Structure 1
Amino acid sequence: MAPPPRHSTAKVLGILGAVAVVLVVAAVAGYQLFSRSSGAFPEAKYRMSVRDELLDGKYELSQDLSDSSGKAVVDENRSRANVRDPKAVVAQYAGQGEQAGGALVVSGMYGRFKDSASARDDMMRGAAEAQGASVAVPARDITPAGSGMTVRCQVLTSDQGTGGARSNVPMCAWGDDNTGATVGLVTPEDAAKDPSDIDLDELARTTLRVREEMREPIR
């Protein structure tokens, strides 16, 4: 007998990419919803921009959602007391070469934010409360060696794919005075892993590389 049909890589990543977009947009909304407000607003020194490629060309831009999904998040949260001058950056990237079949999704905002230290936790919490999501590996802080910066990472599972199948969605978040974003990196391999086997330390390092490439000084 012939073996049972398997999902094509394109189909798997289509499902996972859509799931990741939903969850990371929810995470940005969670950042604004839960952040506490205290002190003065910081000066606007940095912004974020959508790049045509990330991580030395390993991921190429496939969708810029900043003016659609991102705009909705900004409009919803523009009047909150802890944010000034918000602008959204939401983009999905397709893996190239050895990363073919993978998808990297970045969803964030730049502007002037109060209490940036709580942003990482807030974004992870917002993502975990998205419809159809559940926490498979609880959020924890990771400070990659030599970086001097902490990100917060977790693994969610989501049943938003077709056929009721659940998929792993690993993600990390950073937050600073001017920028905050979640980075979700989904692959066919990680989709079927035991969530506890997903390397969040590596994703934390990748997240800081994404931050370095997308964050730029305002001149």
Structure 2
Amino acid sequence: MGPPPKKSRTGLILGIVGGALVLVIAAVVGLGVIGQKAVGGFPKAEYRLTLPKTLLSNKYQLTKDLSDSKGAAIEKEADGAWDAKDTKAVVAQYSLGGDDTKGVLVVSGMYGRFKNTGLARRSMMEGASEGAGAVIAVKARDFHPAGSDVPIACEVLTQTQAGTRTTMPVCAWTDGNTGASVAEVTEATVLKDPATIDLAAAAETAAKVRADMRKPIG
């Protein structure tokens, strides 16, 4: 008998896309519902989040806009929160070269008017770790990618499905008008030791996603 067939990384990627979506939705809910009232007024609404057809210099292509179906739950959680006003959710799945089997990038975010951006960013990391049976493998910490005017928080989560542990870096940002969580799932990282994930590089990716999505109002 020959050796057993190798597990397909393609199948693993497709299998954890749904889990990634749950994680980033759970994360972004923390942006509006952080349970602590901030002092002072809300910032002026100057920026919004868009869903361009491609991200990261055409590396990823938009394949699913889930803002209407998944975004409604996010907006409901944020509605009336102490630290969020005029919120609108965006949720989308982007595929590497338009092919889900090669890799996906899942983005879940809100735009509006937000206080307590530092606390919200930490709450988003905690929210992601509480979703879909996720386990924190590398604790969240803040990064300051070149060109970014806000910190980017990143952590590594693992999930076990069908007896196989998968690895997923998740990053988030918040500013006065926008906040989002970004999870990237690729063949190169899905089975890696969590300790070997380059979170600084993941933060740079998230900062570039923010630059692609965040646009002035008007």
Q: Within 5 A, what are the aligned runs for 1:64-213?
A: 64-96=65-97, 101-159=102-160, 161=161, 163-213=162-212
CA distance in 2, matches of 1:122, 1:140: 12
Q: Which digits, 9 at most, give the CA deviation of each residue in 1:122-152, with x for residues without a partner?
A: 1001111114011000000111234343110
Identity %: 47
Q: Which position in structure 2 is the counterpart of 1:33?
A: 33
TM-fit CA distance, 1:206:
0.7
Q: Does the 8 Å CA contact 1:136/1:155 hold for their aligned counterparts?
A: yes
Q: Which residue type is aligned with residue 20 of structure 2?
A: A
Distance across 2 between alignment mates of 1:187 and 1:70: 24
Counterpart code for 2:204? R
In structure 1, what residue type is equivalent to 2:143?
I
- Deviating above 6 A after TM superposition, structure 1's stretches of 4 or more consecutive aligned residues are 97-100
| Unaligned residue ranges in structure 2 (runs of 5+) | none
CA distance in 2, matches of 1:79, 1:97: 37
Preserved contact between residue 91 and residue 107 of structure 1 (Cα < 8 Å): yes
Q: Which string of whole-angstrom CA distances, capped at 9 and with x for unpartnered residues, describes residues 86-126 of structure 1? A: 10011111101899711111110000111112221110011
1:31 and 1:134 map into 2 onto residues whose CA distance is 20
Change (3 A) 1:66 1:146: closer
Distance 2:13 2:135 in 1: 20
Task: Output the CA distance in 2 between the equivalents of 1:74 and 1:97.
Answer: 28
Partner of residue 21, structure 2: 21
Instruction: Find the residue that maps to 1:132 and give its secondary structure.
Output: coil
The Cα offsets for residues 186-214 of structure 1, whole Å up to 9 and x where unpaired, read as 11221111101011111101111100010
The total of aligned residue pairs comes to: 217
Q: Which residue of 1 aligns with 2:50?
A: 49
Query: Equivalents in 1 of 2:19, 2:135: separation in Å?
Result: 12
Distance 1:2 1:194 in 2: 28
Q: Is the 8 A contact 1:58 1:99 kept in 2?
A: no
Q: Secondary structure of 1:14's match? A: helix
